[in-house]
């Protein structure tokens, strides 16, 4: 039986998806490298239909974080494995249209280049498209970085790369610093070791948003596989490797995260820090040490390693990922543990409570603590009025704790809720920047150089004529102190939390005690997350069923708790606090009769369905708080179990 007949038979037998068969035939029709051709033949000969379905049922698409997916198959071929590198990387990324490999990465690079070329021409800007690329420590990250840079220069653009791994926030800054037209980070953030990604940034240093993201996708989809072959060999001529001055410029900007540096001198702060084998070790320790903070790193996790061998997942929100750091902190009698994820845009924290034990904080709690502290400090130093201002904004995502909405209201500042993904927070910053430029030009004829304007002066101008960005945060452990960078920043987050810890220490409190102060002032809030993982083609169908049935048959009740309100962000018109319409998305927000709420959405970066559940209760006195915490947790757990059971039933149809 020929290969074509084998594929046709597998489709007829229901073993191979028609879309997978179609994509496999398309790949067979082009001139693949020998190793790739042999790999495809091996999988077909083995009748590895489940593997082929997962690899070929679709082409990778841009989500909230760009393109992200497997680089190593569940079943690897002989040629793909080859001779592994010193860090365990296979010889080649897996073959497939739904895999991040040389072929799909080049399609993304070529599509991005073509879009940028058209975008610049439409604006009558005829410079060569200028791209900055950073990468983390994952399998193939350096290779993908050099491959993309090589293709970009051969297409006619200018490409700039770093001499080694760098953090995502540094890429965001460097795009603006070099006045580049676009940026790319090769990373899969905290995903499992077998994943990698291609995250695209625009000229404002933020991840791409509409209409650019959809237009880039269209350009990528228009790139035929036949156009990729000539760029498969890496040519480094013309690719610029950035020097140390760019690192120093980023560290100078990250240091602006500190509002009251004098606190560090008085506190003599000690921290244990772990980069969990990722790029956080490049900038976070020197940044903290520059403020006199005593930083002890976890030796077993300090070295770059794409296999993340000491953890099940390199995710700083997981207790297991911080276990070595917590043990070291106990040994050294240090009260604060900080951890960053592989590309250092996210940060997790463990703090010592009054009884002497270290406890992990959630991303919601960290964000609430930082938001309240930073708004309070801005008032203290006179940057915003003591009573707040409607021209000062705390920006968060809809799926981030409503405790932060309460904090903003009580401080008298505007709270903006956005869709999930820091790119939407950055889009608001860009809008505030453009408003200021427009207002100044209209009123005084001044064309302001925004980045060159001192930060304090910018803040004053924004308060007067636009909106001053106070702080940005999302529940998934992402925080941004100011608009000098346009993506969440794990390096700056470490410094911000150290400043908060120094302030709390000076008051003679522990962080959990200060968190209770926030609850007494704003009400007690508790959050829970449901992650339903559905891998591959069959998993994608289950996620789709959940999303579609939420729209066609919205839930009416969960147990004895009725649904009081159902909001469909994909169909309804919903506006933010600026009066701007929220882009349509498959996001559902449900308010229950008991005052609890939850949001449901498919992850844009991982094969999972996510539910964010929020519980709350008023607290009248400190003595009431322990009982309130217990009651809210019990009810939240009960509601969460009901939501999860309903979702699993919907997934199965």
> For the segment 6-60, what is each residue's pLDDT rounded down to a tens digit?
999 999 999 999 999 999 999 999 999 999 999 999 999 999 999 999 999 998 8
605 has pLDDT over 80: no
- Residue 66: per-residue pLDDT: 72
Burial environment of residue 560 by CB neighbours within 10 A (0 to 12, 13 to 18, 19 or more): exposed
470 has pLDDT over 70: yes
Mean pLDDT confidence for 145-158 = 98
Non-local (6+) Cβ contacts of 205 within 8 A are: 172, 173, 175, 176, 183, 426, 485, 486, 487
Where helices occur in 123-211 by DSSP H, the ranges are 141-155, 168-177
How does pLDDT run across 329-373, given as a tens digit for each residue? 999 999 999 999 999 999 999 999 999 999 999 999 999 999 999
Pairing of strands 67-70, 182-186: unpaired
63 has pLDDT over 60: no
- Residue 36: per-residue pLDDT: 97
Mean pLDDT confidence for 391-396 = 98
Supply 604's token pair.
């844009």
561 has pLDDT over 80: yes
Contact 643, 613 (CB under 8 A): yes
pLDDT, the chain, mean? 95
Q: Label residue 180 by pLDDT band (50, 70, 90).
A: very high
64 has pLDDT over 60: no
Place of tokens 């009025």: 385
**Rounded to two decimals, what is the model's pTM?**
0.95
Supply 20's token pair.
């997978």
Contact 235, 154 (CB under 8 A): yes
Contact 94, 55 (CB under 8 A): yes
DSSP string for residues in 368-435 = HHHHHHHHHHHHHTTSS-TT-EEEEEEEEETTS-THHHHHHHHHTEEEEEE-SSHHHHHHHHHHHHHH
Contact 173, 85 (CB under 8 A): no
- Residue 228: per-residue pLDDT: 95
Q: Label residue 77 by pLDDT band (50, 70, 90).
A: very high
Q: What is the CA radius of gyration of the chain?
A: 25
115 has pLDDT over 90: yes
Place of tokens 């506190």: 267
- Residue 60: per-residue pLDDT: 83
Would you say how long the chain is, in residues? Answer: 653
Non-local (6+) Cβ contacts of 526 within 8 A are: 614, 615, 616, 629, 632, 633, 636
C-alpha to C-alpha distance for 417 and 488, rounded to whole angstroms: 16
- Residue 62: per-residue pLDDT: 66
Distance of CA 249 to the CA centre of its chain: 23
C-alpha to C-alpha distance for 99 and 56, rounded to whole angstroms: 8
Active site residues: 189
Q: How many CB atoms lie within 10 A of CB 95?
A: 28
Which residues sit opposite 348 in a β-bridge? 339
Contact 602, 547 (CB under 8 A): yes
The CA–CA distances, whole Å, from 648 to 93, 188, 612 equal 33, 27, 15
C-alpha to C-alpha distance for 127 and 432, rounded to whole angstroms: 27
Q: How many CB atoms lie within 10 A of CB 5?
A: 9
Q: How many CB atoms lie within 10 A of CB 122?
A: 8
How does pLDDT run across 51-61, given as a tens digit for each residue? 999 999 998 87
């Amino acid at each position: 039986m020929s290969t074509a007949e084998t594929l046709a038979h597998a489709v007829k037998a229901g073993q191979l998806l028609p879309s997978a068969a179609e994509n496999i035939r398309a790949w067979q029709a082009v001139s693949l490298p020998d190793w790739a051709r042999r790999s495809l033949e091996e999988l077909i000969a083995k009748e590895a239909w489940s593997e082929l379905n997962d690899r070929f049922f679709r082409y990778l698409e841009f989500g909230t974080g760009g393109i992200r997916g497997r680089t190593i198959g569940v079943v690897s071929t002989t040629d793909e494995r080859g001779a592994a590198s010193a860090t365990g990387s296979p010889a080649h990324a897996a073959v497939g249209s739904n895999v991040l490999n040389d072929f799909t990465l080049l399609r993304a690079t070529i599509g991005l280049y073509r879009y940028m070329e058209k975008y610049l021409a439409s604006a009558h800007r005829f410079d060569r498209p200028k791209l900055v690329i950073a990468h983390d420590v994952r399998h193939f990250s350096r290779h993908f970085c050099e491959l993309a840079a090589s293709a970009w220069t051969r297409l006619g653009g200018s490409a700039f790369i770093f001499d080694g791994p760098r953090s995502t926030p540094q890429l965001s800054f460097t795009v603006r610093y070099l006045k580049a037209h676009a940026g790319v980070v090769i990373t899969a953030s905290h995903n499992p070791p077998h994943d990698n990604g291609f995250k695209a940034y625009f000229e404002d240093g933020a991840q791409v948003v509409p209409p650019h993201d959809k237009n880039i996708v269209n350009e990528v989809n228009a790139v035929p596989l036949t156009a990729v072959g000539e760029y498969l060999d890496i040519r480094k001529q013309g690719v610029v490797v950035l020097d140390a001055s760019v690192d120093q410029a980023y560290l100078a900007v990250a240091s602006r995260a500190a509002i009251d540096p004098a606190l560090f001198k008085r506190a003599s702060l000690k921290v244990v820090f772990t980069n969990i084998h990722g790029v956080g070790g490049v900038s976070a320790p020197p940044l903290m040490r520059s403020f006199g903070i005593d930083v002890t790193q976890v030796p077993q996790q300090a070295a770059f390693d794409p296999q993340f061998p000491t953890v099940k997942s390199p995710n700083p929100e997981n207790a297991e990922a911080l276990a070595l750091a917590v043990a070291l902190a106990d040994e050294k009698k240090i009260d604060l543990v900080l951890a960053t994820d592989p590309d250092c845009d996210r940060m997790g924290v463990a703090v010592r409570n009054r009884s002497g034990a270290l406890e992990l904080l959630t991303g919601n709690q960290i964000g609430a603590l930082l938001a309240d502290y930073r708004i309070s400090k801005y008032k203290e130093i006179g940057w915003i009025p003591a009573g707040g201002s409607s021209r000062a904004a705390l920006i968060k995502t809809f799926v981030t704790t409503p405790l932060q909405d309460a904090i903003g209201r009580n401080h008298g500042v505007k709270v903006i809720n956005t869709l999930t993904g820091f790119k939407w927070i950055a889009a608001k910053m860009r809008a505030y920047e453009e408003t200021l430029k427009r207002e100044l030009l209209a009123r005084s004829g001044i064309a302001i150089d925004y980045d060159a304007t001192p930060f304090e002066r910018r803040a004053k101008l924004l308060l007067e004529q636009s909106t001053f960005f106070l702080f940005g945060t999302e529940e998934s452990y992402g925080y941004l102190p100011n608009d000098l960078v346009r993506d969440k920043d794990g390096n700056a987050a470490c410094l911000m939390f150290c400043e908060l810890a120094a302030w709390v220490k000076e008051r003679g409190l522990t962080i959990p005690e200060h968190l209770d102060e926030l609850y007494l002032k704003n009400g007690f809030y508790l959050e829970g997350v449901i992650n339903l993982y559905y891998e591959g083609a069959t998993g994608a169908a289950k996620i789709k069923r959940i999303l579609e049935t939420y729209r066609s048959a919205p839930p009416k009740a969960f147990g004895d708790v009725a649904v009081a309100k159902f909001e469909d962000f994909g169909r309804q018109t919903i506006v933010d606090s600026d009066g701007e319409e929220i882009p349509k998305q498959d996001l559902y927000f449900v308010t229950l009769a008991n005052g609890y709420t939850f949001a449901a959405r498919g992850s844009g970066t991982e094969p999972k369905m996510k539910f964010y559940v929020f519980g709350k209760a008023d607290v009248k006195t400190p003595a009431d708080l322990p009982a309130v915490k217990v009651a809210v947790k019990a009810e939240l757990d009960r509601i969460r179990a009901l939501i999860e059971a309903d979702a699993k039933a919907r997934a199965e149809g």
